[in-house]
């Protein structure tokens, strides 16, 4: 979603801002803009559309500006037009502001400001905040920003510049991430580490209600109530090549192929097959409470919700703890019951998804122990949990989540085994499970060798506009994930179902125009899924199967079969999801879709 980048230093801000904005493109956006401070003026250039459109409007030959802010907008209040794009400027044209988040009381503030004679140029909530800062400005941008923020309700990450303070950026956050990169004689403010990584890896993360003022004189952090805060400088562990394409056509395919290495890193030092033990440093402090949990609630959105559903099966089977998986957007508003012994685990790649964050806050408010399974170190969810486990799969740039799903399932598998071992699981069973988990990265590498076969499946069915994905047990969440992957990037309609549910309605849809993808690996429900395949075949349906290597029976039944290696049933999702990711990828490419920037989607959904 929206992205912020700001620069103060000794270099020309413009190319740094544009580079930063390009690095934020992956988050999803529909307009972009920059404001530069030069010669006592704030100069704004902005436009609807891609950054390439903005670039055509920018004057690269103008004298350098050492200070500037930039933004990619994903429309919420007001259509994606030039006027609604950020930065917004105040009535005097001296203050420019970029904003991520939503100002909830913007309407009342807008009416108030209109009554004061302010004329608005856009439909956005952000302009309201900008005008408010302008009204309060009496010579100190920092003071005016704080004063304005005390009047607003809602969420924000903002960066503000002023013509009268040419070497200053004031930035603040509440519920929307913001960090400050600290370079040599320069500072880069951003909503995402990707925007600053090519300049520095030293950062400070702002907390909610904190305001930072950066200038060549240094950096000062206070609360919006003006109480000084001492910030710790942290090191970003991601590297530049991780956020670059490195010869791949798209981030999605790069990240699908990164899965063996990503999972090796995720598992490294954490599993000990020989002794049947799992080491998860991030939960050591809450190990006792967690082990005694009477109930787990896993909460997440999108792909992370599918990983959570695999987690539910894992926790109940391995650790015998009653577990529920909840959409974060439902959980946060539906008065959930949190008893003593309820542990809530939020699962999120970005650690910034608004609904997941709010669900976690609600759970904490009701007294639950709150854990996070998160990829982005230092993200909002990671920082607000009592304890947690990082995925360590590296940055995920492709909007369609792939390696994060694998990382989430792998972490949940480790967590389930960790708890199982502390409750009732034998060392032998834990060893067997962890040995199998340790073998998964190599097995994924083997599945990836079927890339051509997956492309052939996509090619053979590319004209079909509706697909079904069917699985049972551990493969049911994989069916959901396979359908989501296909629809989000290729815009082909797809539905995922527990295979037995097909008979309760969806079977009416079966024709040879609707490919049915069965995840039909060996397991306790194998015979049942064969029955479901027969039901589809007997109605003239086209069956695509993901099956266990050597399974000739399925091969004979299906039109196309992708084989995956055998593993323990609870770990099969880590292998069976890979062909589905590849099929979706190839379908999207064949249909000419923009794989890494699918229409209307955002990588990190920071509004509810």
For residues 608 and 598, give the distance between their C-alpha atoms in angstroms, rounded to a whole number.
19
Q: Is the dihedral of CA 194, 199, 204, 206 positive or negative?
A: negative
Query: Which part of the chain contacts ligand G6P (CB under 6 A), choosing from 114-122, 264-272, 540-548, 596-604?
Result: 596-604
Can residue 601 be called a binding residue for ligand G6P (CB under 6 A)? Answer: yes
Residues 302-341 as x/- pattern, contact with ligand G6P by CB under 6 A: xxx-------------------------------------
In the list 72, 299, 329, 356, the residue contacting ligand G6P (rule: CB under 6 A) is 356
- Nearest distance, CB of residue 27 and ligand G6P, angstroms: 10
In degrees, rounded to 5, the angle at the alpha carbon of residue 55 between the alpha carbons of residues 90 and 17 is: 65
- Nearest distance, CB of residue 49 and ligand G6P, angstroms: 21
With CB atoms as reference, the residue minimizing the distance to ligand G6P is 302
Angle between helices 259-267 and 427-448 (to 10 degrees): 160
- Nearest distance, CB of residue 425 and ligand G6P, angstroms: 28
| Residues 547 to 586 in contact with ligand G6P, rule: CB under 6 A | none
Structure-block tokens of residue 320: 């015998």
Query: Which part of the chain contacts ligand G6P (CB under 6 A), choosing from 111-119, 298-306, 386-394, 425-433?
Result: 298-306
Q: Burial, 341: exposed, middle or buried (Cβ in 10 Å; 0-12, 13-18, 19+)? A: middle
- Nearest distance, CB of residue 177 and ligand G6P, angstroms: 12
- Nearest distance, CB of residue 411 and ligand G6P, angstroms: 12
Phi, psi of 482, rounded to the nearest 5 degrees: -60, -45
Can residue 126 be called a binding residue for ligand G6P (CB under 6 A)? Answer: no
Closer residue to ligand G6P in complex, CB, 122/353: 353
In the list 84, 350, 572, 606, the residue contacting ligand G6P (rule: CB under 6 A) is 350
In the numeric block, the tokens 């097959």 are attached to: 273
In the list 84, 100, 201, 348, the residue contacting ligand G6P (rule: CB under 6 A) is 348
Closer residue to ligand G6P in complex, CB, 204/605: 605
Q: Is 301 a catalytic residue?
A: no
In the numeric block, the tokens 């924000």 are attached to: 156
In the list 214, 389, 399, 494, the residue contacting ligand G6P (rule: CB under 6 A) is 399
Which one, of 540, 487, 530, 484, lies nearest residue 510 by Cα? 540
Closer residue to ligand G6P in complex, CB, 177/420: 177
Closer residue to ligand G6P in complex, CB, 404/470: 404
Q: Is 603 a catalytic residue?
A: yes
Can residue 349 be called a binding residue for ligand G6P (CB under 6 A)? Answer: yes
For residues 97 and 30, give the distance between their C-alpha atoms in angstroms, rounded to a whole number.
18
For residues 450 and 214, give the distance between their C-alpha atoms in angstroms, rounded to a whole number.
51
Closer residue to ligand G6P in complex, CB, 348/567: 348
Can residue 406 be called a binding residue for ligand G6P (CB under 6 A)? Answer: no
Can residue 345 be called a binding residue for ligand G6P (CB under 6 A)? Answer: no
For residues 172 and 335, give the distance between their C-alpha atoms in angstroms, rounded to a whole number.
31
Can residue 353 be called a binding residue for ligand G6P (CB under 6 A)? Answer: yes
For residues 45 and 29, give the distance between their C-alpha atoms in angstroms, rounded to a whole number.
16
DSSP codes of every residue in 344-408: EEEEESSS--HHHHHHHHHHHHTT-EEEEEESSTT-HHHHHSSEEEE-------SSS--HHHHHH
Catalytic sites, residue numbers = 2, 603
């Amino acid at each position: 979603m929206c992205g912020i980048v700001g620069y103060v230093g000794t270099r020309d801000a413009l190319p740094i801002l544009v580079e930063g904005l390009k690095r934020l493109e992956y988050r999803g956006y529909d307009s972009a803009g920059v404001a530069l401070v030069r010669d006592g003026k704030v100069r704004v250039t902005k436009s609807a559309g891609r950054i390439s459109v903005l670039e055509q409007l920018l004057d690269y030959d103008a004298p350098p500006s050492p200070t500037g802010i930039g933004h990619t907008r994903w429309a919420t209040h007001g259509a994606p037009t030039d006027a609604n794009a950020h930065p917004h400027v105040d009535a005097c044209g001296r203050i420019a502001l970029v904003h991520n988040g939503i100002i909830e009381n913007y309407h009342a503030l807008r009416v108030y400001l209109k009554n004061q004679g302010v004329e608005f140029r856009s439909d956005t909530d952000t302009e309201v905040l900008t005008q408010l800062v302008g009204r309060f400005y009496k010579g100190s941008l920092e003071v005016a920003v704080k004063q304005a923020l005390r009047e607003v309700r809602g969420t924000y990450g903002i960066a503000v510049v002023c013509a009268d303070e040419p070497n200053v950026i004031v930035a603040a956050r509440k519920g929307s991430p913001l960090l400050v990169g600290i370079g040599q004689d320069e500072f880069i403010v951003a909503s995402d580490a990707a925007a600053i990584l090519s300049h520095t890896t030293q950062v400070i993360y702002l907390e909610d209600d904190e305001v930072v003022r950066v200038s060549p004189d240094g950096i000062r952090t206070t609360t919006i109530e003006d109480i000084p805060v001492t910030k710790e400088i942290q090191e970003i562990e991601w590297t530049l090549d991780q956020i670059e394409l490195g010869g791949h056509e798209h981030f999605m395919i790069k990240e699908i192929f990164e899965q063996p290495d990503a999972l090796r890193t995720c598992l490294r030092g954490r599993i000990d097959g020989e002794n049947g033990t799992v080491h998860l440093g991030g939960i050591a402090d809450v190990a006792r409470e967690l082990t005694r949990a009477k109930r787990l609630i896993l909460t997440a959105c999108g792909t992370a919700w599918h990983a959570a559903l695999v987690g539910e099966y894992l926790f109940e089977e391995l650790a015998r703890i009653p577990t529920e998986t909840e959409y974060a957007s439902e959980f946060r508003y539906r008065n959930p019951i949190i008893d003593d012994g309820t542990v809530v685990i939020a699962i999120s790649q970005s650690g910034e998804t608004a609904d997941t964050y709010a669900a976690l806050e609600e759970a904490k408010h009701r007294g639950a122990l709150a854990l996070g399974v998160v990829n982005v170190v230092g993200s909002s969810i990671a920082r607000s949990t009592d304890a947690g486990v990082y995925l360590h799969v590296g940055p995920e740039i492709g909007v369609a989540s792939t390696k994060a799903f694998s990382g989430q399932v792998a972490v949940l598998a480790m967590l389930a085994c960790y708890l199982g071992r502390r409750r009732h699981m034998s060392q032998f069973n834990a060893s067997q499970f962890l040995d199998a988990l340790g073998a998964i990265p190599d097995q994924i590498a083997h599945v990836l060798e079927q890339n051509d076969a997956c492309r052939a499946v996509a090619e053979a069915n590319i004209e079909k506009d509706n697909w079904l994905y069917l699985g049972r047990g551990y493969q049911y969440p994989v069916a959901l994930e396979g359908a989501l992957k296909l629809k989000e990037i290729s815009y082909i309609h797809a539905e995922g179902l527990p295979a037995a549910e097909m008979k309760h309605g969806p079977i009416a849809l079966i024709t040879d125009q609707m490919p049915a993808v069965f995840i039909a690996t060996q397991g306790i429900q194998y015979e049942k899924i064969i029955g479901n395949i027969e039901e589809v075949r007997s109605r003239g349906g086209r069956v695509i199967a993901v099956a266990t290597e050597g399974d000739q029976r399925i091969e004979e039944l299906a039109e196309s079969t992708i084989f995956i290696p055998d593993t323990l049933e609870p770990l099969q999702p880590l292998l069976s999801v890979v062909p589905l990711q590849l099929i979706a990828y190839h379908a999207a490419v064949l249909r000419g879709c923009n794989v890494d920037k699918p229409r209307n989607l955002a990588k990190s959904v920071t509004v509810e």
